[in-house]
Chain A
Amino acid sequence: MPVTKLKDFSRWSHLGFDGKLTFYKPRDIPFVTYKNGMPCHEANMYIHKLLEDGLKYQTILTYANCIVALVYHVESATHFNRFSDLTDATFRLFIQGMQSEKHPNCEKVKSNNRVLEVGIRCLKFLEFVQECHGLKLFIGTDKANAITVVETTHKISFEGSRHKKEVTSTSHLCLQNIN
């Protein structure tokens, strides 16, 4: 039961002038639990954040399926049990664990590109966790952080337009060595 689907979930938007809650249109949302069935609060809060950003169900589901790998890793780890206990070394271990996962017929469970995708998505999720819990020095570009990320900016140019869009992408040292 990794990621379950909540059908026709309606969430509130604001309190109206008549003192009643106003709701958005009901829609399906994913719901993340640990392997033992306990709901994972951080992940579900992240899903709520994605909902507020206005993403569609399929997109959120894709993201949730990426995050669930990290959720399981944190659950099965013996020496720490919270997301905020993650460090550079344990994150590297998580990535390497994903790379070495094999099917019984010796095929890789996740391809290199998939590992990259999951890793980057998890970094974004951890940034959210830092913001949500109000943590200090957990994840960031500075060396003092427990998880040091590398931010690179690159420009995307559009055909037929002189203007370029600047995009910042987040990565980690151990993700840059893949391939």
Chain B
Amino acid sequence: MRKNKENNQKTILATEALLLEIIKSPDGFKNNDGLVKVLKSQGGLAKYKDAERHIGAVAINTVKSLSELLLDDGFDGFERLRINARDAIEKALIGKIKKSTTEVTRQKLVSTEKTLAITQQSNFLLNTVIKEMRAHLKAMALQDGTDEERLKRYKDINKKVEAQLNYVNYGEV
């Protein structure tokens, strides 16, 4: 049982390596008809067997769960690799890409939505910084203390704002 699990994990990693290799140099693979056919679908790739590379046939659900576990980008990244590998081989065969426009548009949409969400989030956080700084400003204007106290207070606030800006810009605390 354990042996089987190990083989499955090896398969996923080996498949990823194969896909990366295809993307890098598609010319070495373009005459391999079986491989070209396999890359056309998710299920096909899962069923692909290659003893030399230690790739065995696994179920599509195994690919999904294991790729979430093993790869940085999860199954989405795996799927993107497959599509890119397919396009790379097609490009090598025909000499130009025949990328499906819907796929390109979908990828563009996903990335644009991601940027929009990040931008909105950072906008909100900067907004918060402004609001809080204004509150501090008002408190400073209304306070009655010595100059030293005021300076100490300023330093505290400055430190806080610095930390906040760090978070907004780099996502670090």
Binding site for B on A (CB under 8 A): 4, 6-7, 9, 11-12, 14-15, 19-21, 23, 29, 31, 39, 41, 44-45, 48-49, 132, 134
Q: Give the A-B pair count, Cβ closer than 8 A.
A: 52
Q: How far is the CB of B112 from chain A (nearest CB, A)?
A: 12
Complex contact B121–A6 (CB within 8 A): yes
With A6-B117, A21-B173, A31-B120 already in contact, the answer to whether A15 and B128 are too (CB < 8 A) is no
Interface of B is mostly: helix
Contact of A48 among B117, B121, B127 (CB under 8 A): B127
Is B154 an interface residue, CB under 8 A from the partner? no
Would you call B117 and A19 a contact (CB within 8 A)? no
Chain B contacts for A11, CB-based, 8 A: 125, 128
A41 to B156, CA, bound (A): 26
> Is the CB–CB distance between A19 and B159 below 8 Å?
yes
Q: With CB as the reference atom, state the residue of chain A lying closest to B123.
A: A39
Q: Complex Cα distance A21/B132, Å?
A: 14
B108 sits at the interface (CB 8 A): no
Q: CA A12 – CA B162 in complex, angstroms?
A: 13
| Chain A binding surface, main DSSP class | strand
With an 8 A cutoff between CB atoms, is B40 at the interface? no
The answer to whether A6 and B163 touch across the interface, beta carbons within 8 angstroms, is no
Is the CB–CB distance between A9 and B124 below 8 Å? yes
Q: Is the CB of B127 within 8 A of A41?
A: yes
- Which B residues are in CB contact (< 8 Å) with A4? 120
Q: Which residue of A lies closest to B168 (CB)?
A: A12
* Interchain CA distance A7-B114 in the complex, whole Å: 11
> Which B residues lie within 8 Å of A132 (CB)?
131, 134
Write out the residue numbers on chain A whose beta carbons fall within 8 Å of the beta carbon of B159.
15, 19
Q: Complex Cα distance A39/B116, Å?
A: 12
CA distance A9 to B127 in the complex (A): 14
A6-B117, A45-B131, A48-B131 known; A19 vs B163 contact (CB < 8 Å): yes
Asked whether, in the complex, the Cβ of A21 is within 8 Å of the Cβ of B120, the reply is no
Closest Cβ of chain A to B167, distance in Å, is 6
A16 shortest CB reach to chain B, Å: 9
Q: Is B164 an interface residue when CB atoms closer than 8 A count as contact?
A: yes
CA distance A11 to B173 in the complex (A): 12
A20, B173: Cβ atoms under 8 Å? yes
Q: How close is B83's CB to chain A, nearest CB, in angstroms?
A: 26
CB nearest neighbor in A for B120: A31
Nearest residue (CB) in B for A4 is B120
Chain A hits for B173, CB < 8 A: 20-21, 23
Determine if A134 and B138 form an interchain contact, defined as CB atoms under 8 angstroms apart.
yes
- Rounded to whole angstroms, the CA-CA distance of A27 and B120 in the bound complex is 15
The 7 A-B pairs with the shortest beta carbon distances in the complex, nearest first, are A15-B160, A45-B131, A20-B173, A21-B163, A44-B127, A39-B123, A21-B173
Instruction: Please tell me which one of the listed residues B124, B130, B131 contacts residue A6 in the complex, with CB atoms under 8 A apart.
Output: B124
| Complex CA–CA separation, A9 to B128 (angstroms) | 13
